[in-house]
Structure 1
């Protein structure tokens, strides 16, 4: 009975107007939603870069507005954990590893489908007390270094497009920075770190030397170039040099300076990246300073776009910028 009734009603249902419409009236099609504007990551890829990224610190993770942008792959298709993967957090006690802070950034970026530059295996700063106050010999400290790189590289195996293997090893005059690594191991600590990194990171991971103040051709950038040449002669692995690009309005390098500095390394077959780009200005700002700031961001990015072996730009911290990709 129910089936017969349903069949009898079918012609009436088919002839009835759809809800909210009336016969004899013209209903224009609904407008399509406006197309989403491409983000910086999209524009960077269109311009030939691998990525346009941002550094994220754990203290910003409770800001939903910030994280909705930072973990938006269209806006930033690469992420760097600005502090969570540094030694003081990863190995706070000898042979006790804690990946919590690093994971908060890495896991969220993986969920968002973003690339990662991992930062950093070896630095003179943000070291735990047990390390800086220990009674080490060259042999024992090398053992600590290898163990740290092995454990962290194994944990993040396959997660990182690149690792900053050694960070800020040089002074501005081109001499090596005096720290625990140089004092106890000697200059060879840098090559040991790169050899350990190649041994334990996943195949294809790019190994970087990363530093500030090398965005011009100067004593420091030439010292890094000499390090690279020496590594290549002795077949020590290195794939790239990161120019941190911490700039200040009124004292920032020119587009031509950045291009020249990159070519110290790209001419040797290495890739480069602007790894920590920010442009500071005094507050309160003014229109002129802000326009200069925007121009410096744009010129720095253009210097990477125009350099064939520059793979990407990462902005550092909670800085905002206006950029144009040609």
Structure 2
């Protein structure tokens, strides 16, 4: 899928004017990624975060190019229940309101996760009955608050280790593996119409971690637990190779009757970026998009923010970055055109 370099550069020059230049008449504007994805019955989205919403050019592109939004942090436990029983949905509400104004749908992220928990939750030992009650109240209060405002929830995030064993979290330690089924049931009670997902990274390929999700999903479905989808985060890195079995993996979850989605996509590289790395990155973005389009139950793709300007990567992976389809100046990179090509 490597592009003829001259063709890519020519396309880049042509579309740059439309994307970043003065607004032309409507019929001259190329279709957005969302427009192209909708032709396949998919969505194409981006994560965003509250501090970024003061950046007008960024917000403009966020509102025009995508038809789905995921709040990066504003719906997590530390933000939504900073003190026990005291809920604050202001950050999530701001992003939901922005999405509504732009006719975009929202993925809720995330109800149960071992990270970014408030101190009141992590700073003490809990008896199982106490923690169950706290977990149920948190899930149901948040899901009820956003009932009708989000179309899907990442109910449990990152529940497994790389070898397919359960991650040792406060929830697993105190409640055992049944906390996952309980969380799904409680979320379903609070909003029977919302799609409920399990979400994780490094499950793009067939392997021990994705096998663990496959087994769990099969068990939950057999028990009648309300699970509707598996979110594959797709935080990829050039140095680790492309997940060649992605399409097969999507298909096996589909055969269980589950939706899949690529939920947090970025493709990082060692800096500095160069033409060769950007070309490989573009190829991978195109291949990811094609894999989702090839599997009917893969419902959409979400970038983990769309621009390097607001990427989480440099702060967490020293010496790495340039992970997204737009650069720090909000200019499209070769990856953007590879996604467009795949969606056409």
Q: TM-score range by the shorter chain?
A: 0.7 to 0.9
1:271-290 to 2 correspondences below 5 Å:
271-290=259-278
Write out per-residue CA displacement over residues 272-315 of structure 1, whole angstroms, 9 at most, x where no aligned residue: 00000101112221000001111111110110011111000000
Write out per-residue CA displacement over residues 233-257 of structure 1, whole angstroms, 9 at most, x where no aligned residue: 1111100000000001232424x41
In the alignment, what sits opposite 1:248? Answer: 237
Secondary structure at 1:120 match in 2: strand
Q: Number of residue pairs matched?
A: 291
Shift of 1:32: 7.2
Counterpart Cα distance in 1 of 2:87 and 2:251? 39
In the alignment, what sits opposite 1:214? Answer: 203
Distance verdict in 2 for CA 1:288–1:235, change over 3 Å: same
Counterpart Cα distance in 1 of 2:223 and 2:163? 25
Shift of 1:60: 1.2
In the alignment, what sits opposite 1:180? Answer: 170
Write out per-residue CA displacement over residues 85-107 of structure 1, whole angstroms, 9 at most, x where no aligned residue: 00000000000001111112111
Residue among 252, 255, 276 paired with 1:264: 252
Secondary structure at 2:28 match in 1: coil
Structure 1 or 2: more helix by fraction: 2
Q: Which has the larger radius of gyration?
A: 1
In the alignment, what sits opposite 1:195? Answer: 185
State TM-score, norm by structure 1.
0.87
Matched, 1:153 2:136: no
Q: Which runs of 5+ in 1 are unaligned?
A: 1-30
In the alignment, what sits opposite 1:292? Answer: 280
Counterpart Cα distance in 2 of 1:87 and 1:65? 30
Write out per-residue CA displacement over residues 58-116 of structure 1, whole angstroms, 9 at most, x where no aligned residue: 121121111111122xx100000011000000000000001111112111001111011
Secondary structure at 2:66 match in 1: coil
Matched, 1:35 2:28: yes
Matched, 1:64 2:49: no
Counterpart Cα distance in 1 of 2:247 and 2:189? 32
Counterpart Cα distance in 1 of 2:41 and 2:111? 29
Secondary structure at 2:163 match in 1: coil
Counterpart Cα distance in 1 of 2:137 and 2:231? 24
Write out per-residue CA displacement over residues 175-218 of structure 1, whole angstroms, 9 at most, x where no aligned residue: 000010011111111111001011002x3211000000110000
Matched, 1:45 2:38: yes
State TM-score, norm by structure 2.
0.82
Counterpart Cα distance in 2 of 1:97 and 1:32? 45
Shift of 1:174: 0.2
Q: Which runs of 5+ in 2 are unaligned?
A: 1-23, 308-323, 326-334
Secondary structure at 1:275 match in 2: strand
